[in-house]
Every structure is written in structure tokens, then in C-alpha cells.
Amino acid sequence: MQHDTVPTPGLSEPGAPADRPQSAGVRERYPWAFRWETVLALIVVVIAVAGTTASPEFLTSYNLFNLGLSNGEVAIMALPMTLIVISGEIDLSVASMLGMSSCLLGFLWEKGWPMPVIFVVIAVVGLAAGAINGLLITRLGLPSLAVTIGTLTLYAGVAQILLGPNTVANFPATYTNLGVNAVPYTDGAVSYSAVIFVVLAVIFGVVLHATGVGRSIYAMGASSEAALFAGIRVKRVKTVLFMISGLVCSFAGVLYTFRLSTSVANNGVGLELDVVAIVLVGGVSIFGGKGSVPGVVLGVLAFVGIQNALLLTNFNQEASGIVAGGLLLVSVFLPNAASVVRWSAARYRLHAAKTS
């Protein structure tokens, strides 16, 4: 991860604003039009239109329901990941925490534990798993990339130890119905996981964009040291973020288990890459300090929409990674390329002004 930052055009061009060409004026007058979120919203609209023309089933309530259902967990896990990445860290162990919680659910249910007790245990284990990540990263000062690759393997290993080759599938229907039924009065279009995602997105959005804690998360992502000197408890906030990630991922694991009505050791393997891809597509900078919850919600829509549109057009579903990967690349490459172009243009103008 090279810290190759492109100098901001504003800094390299201190000249009077009157000298600026028309495009800069447009940029200043309509700043929202140049935000990544706007571009993403357009992409989402294009996907929706293209999807509808490609297949009349795209915007039906049945398809929307399945869309929300089969991507609910990934979308939910993307929310705490957003905060963690903005704070300048990364959590690659999310899918393993989902898998561990799923296996714990199956393991304890088979042992005959009552469901409410199991939920409490899973929540505690999730918090503990997140706390291990957070403490190793903040107190020992280890890089989060390495730590969470380690705990990714460790927690997936715990899941394997818990269940081994077994499959637990005899969950009571009252719970598994929650996983596959639609929320009442929504015309069968909205799954429970979609509702939970929306509620959590609002909570995370408010915390990030409208509270002091949220501002401090941006601050520590921009500069951990500066944030510390500004009196922000960087280590504590980061640890709490990782614990929340653990809790939310455990919860996603419960949803995942009830949706599939099965608990097996490899539940959720590999989902961490989807989660990271969604967050980055949503415009969050991998270096921290930049990004927004609305952007990530749009990122979820774009990511999920593309995969679904391809599915309906009989494109080989497993190969949809090509488009997902392409979207990820474009989402980071385009803004970069744009700023490189703008910067060179500014330098060229500066050079021209000097020589004339």
C-alpha cells in the first residue's frame, strides 16, 4: 500500500480565481455534481434501467426480495467496515466472525441450549472476537491488515473445530421463517435482513455524520497522531469500532444461518472480500479519512444490482466477479485519474502563465 498521494489542485494553483477556466467554476458552483456519490447514484440508475430492459423481472417485488435477502449479511457487515476503514484500519476477519457465530449457533443448538441464551453467548463471543482484534491493533500497535488476516484464519479455524464436518440443520421454524419470509405489509418485496440493514445504516450514518464521535473517526483516519494531540481517545474509539464490527458480524451470522437453515464450518468463507469491495466502491478511501455511509449504501446497491442484472441475463453467475472487480477498480481509478489530469492541467497553466 503505497502512500502515493496526488497533490491537490487547489494547493498547486494559488492564482486568482478569475483566471480559472470555466470548468473550475462549474466545479465550485455545483460541488455535489463532482462527488463520487453522485456518480454512483447515476451508475445505480443505469443498472436499474439496463436491468429492467434486459429482463422484465428485474424490478419485480419477488426479485427485489431475493436481492435484499441474499445480500443482506454482506450489506450489514459493510456498515461497521465503513467506519473502520474511515478510521484508517481494516477488518478482514468479518466473514470468519460470521462463520464462527453461525457454527456456535449450530453447535450450542445441538447441545440443547435454549435459543435466547445462545443469542447472548453469540453476542458476547462476537464482542470478544472484535475486542481481540482491537486490542492487538491499538495496544500492541500491530498493523490491522496482518492482525485481521491472522484472526480471519483463527476464527475460521474455531468454526471448524466447533462443527468439524457436521451440519446442523434442525433449527425451529419460528426462527428460520425470519430468514426466508418477507416483512408483513410490504407486498413481499422486503426481507427482514433488508429492514435490519436500513435501520443499521441510519444508525451508523447518524453516528458517523452527525456526532462528535463520527467527526473523531474522520480525524483519526486523516491523521492518527493529530487526532491524538487533539484529545481524541484514538485507541479506545478504534477498539470499540472493532468490537462493534464483531457484534454486527455475529448478528449477520445468525441471519445467515437462519436464511440457509444450516450451520456448517465453511459458512461465509470469502465474504470479507465482497465486504471490502463494497466499501471501496462506495467511495471510502482505503487510506482512511474519507467516505460516507450514503456512499456505501449506494455501493451496496451498485454491487448487488450488477450481480443480479447479470444473473437475470443468464450470464454465468459465478463469473460476475469480473464486473464486480471492474467496478471496484473503476471506482478507485477514475477519481485518481481525474485528479492526475486536473493537477497536470493546473501545472501546465501555471507554467504557461510564468512564461508569457
Partner 1 sequence: MTAAVLHREPPKAPVDNSSGLAERVFRIRESGIVVVLVLFVAVTAGLQHRFLSATNVQFVLVNTVIFALLALGETMVVVSRNVDLSVGSVLGMSAYLSANLFGSHPSIPIPVVFLVGLGIGLGWGMLNGLLVSVGRVPSLVVTLASLYIIRGIDILIVGGNMVTANTLPTSFTDIPKDTVLGIPYVAIVVAAVVAVGAYYLRSYRSGRDLYAIGSNPDAARLAGIPIGRRVFMSFAVSGAIAGVAGVLWAAQYGTVDSTAGTGYELTVVTAVVVGGVAIFGGSGSAVGAALGALLLATINSALYVLGISSFWDQAIAGFLLIFAITLDRIISVRLTAALRLRSARRAA
- Near partner 1 by CB under 8 A: residue from 76, 98, 122, 136: 136
Q: CB of residue 213 vs partner 1: minimum separation in angstroms? A: 26
The CA-atom distances, in angstroms, between 281 and each of 170, 219, 248, 304, 305 are 38, 22, 21, 11, 13
Among the listed ranges 110-118, 140-148, 187-195, 242-250, the one in contact with partner 1 (CB under 8 A) is 140-148
Q: Which is nearer to partner 1, 141 or 231 (CB)?
A: 141
Report if residue 314 touches partner 1, rule: CB under 8 A.
no
Q: How far is the CB of 153 from partner 1 (least distance, A)?
A: 3
CB of 274 to partner 1, least distance (A): 9
Q: Output the DSSP codes for 88-122.
A: T---TTHHHHHHHHHHHHHHHHHTT--HHHHHHHH
What is the spatial distance between Cα 35 and Cα 21, in angstroms, rounded to a whole number? 20
Q: How far is the CB of 264 from partner 1 (least distance, A)?
A: 12
Q: In terms of CB distance, is 59 or 337 closer to partner 1?
A: 337
Helix residue ranges per DSSP H, 90-233: 94-110, 115-138, 144-163, 173-180, 192-210, 212-222, 224-229
Residue with Cβ nearer partner 1 (45 or 329): 329
Residue 174, Cβ density class (10 Å: 0-12 exposed, 13-18 middle, ≥19 buried) = exposed
Q: Please tell me whether residue 276 binds partner 1 under the rule CB under 8 A.
A: yes
Among 26, 42, 117, 161, interactor with partner 1 by CB under 8 A: 161
Residue 11 has, within 13 A of its CA and on its CB side, a CA count of: 4
The answer to the question of residue 149 lying near partner 1 (CB under 8 A) is yes
Distances (CA, A) of 227 to 178, 213, 234: 43, 12, 7
The conformation of residue 265, written as its DSSP 8-state character, comes to: T
> 214 is written with which cell numbers?
463520527
Among 59, 329, 338, 341, binds partner 1 (CB under 8 A): 329
List of residues contacting partner 1 (CB under 8 A): 1-4, 6, 136, 140-143, 145-147, 149-158, 160-161, 164-165, 265, 269-270, 273, 276-277, 280, 286-287, 316, 318-326, 328-329, 332-333, 336-337, 340
